[in-house]
A and B are shown apart, each in its own frame.
Chain A
């Protein structure tokens, strides 16, 4: 059983309107790599031009924030669910 990546509503237009996708992956980074290879338009909304996960994009494996695990090297196992949740931020000063 592969890893399931849940795709949030704002990003579904860039993922063939799908709400999830499944991949065989050993780590979170690998799963997100498969996701953004299959759906190339997703990449710029998740990663900076330098290839880093955008600061407001949070990734969870099951209910665990990967920032408190091994970030994108966090291992995954069959049946895990990866969620992508934005923090919302803004303000007047650039």
Chain B
């Protein structure tokens, strides 16, 4: 059974939901602590949402220098699947594992709603169970999800198919409607919407989030 780690930083909120989603989708959920320098032998890592370190300085900026991040950056460079959700996406951008950055939403408002997305690339470890072009519904909830990058980076993202999700109805002003991106290798994915909240029909209209966890498990199964 695949072992998927979920990191808890001070101020993380969605670690328990992420752990539950991992279990619901048939993998073993492993808790990881920010101050540890061990990944406990996990096969993949999720950086969950929340407000690590109270969003002090910049979202994700302090968490990026937590001891466990050195291990995660080294593992990601070797190809381990890493998923950053919301604040986790911000941490991955601050770590330069993913290009670009997030600033405050264009309309200054915190957005909390179900959000339609288009899957732009299923050539990643976290989206291979989707069809390219699929329209899915995943919950968003953030105040600083406005994705920005320079022209050169945007051209590179487009050329390499590194834009993984686009918003259908942009909620935050993100450049080119970008909701999620991947690295060149396709093993690190970050997105602002919350797949871990869209896995259980009891609390969500959509269970489209399940395909993220199915994707990584089928990737890991094929690799072994």
The finding on whether chains A and B are genuine partners in a shared complex, rather than unrelated, reads no
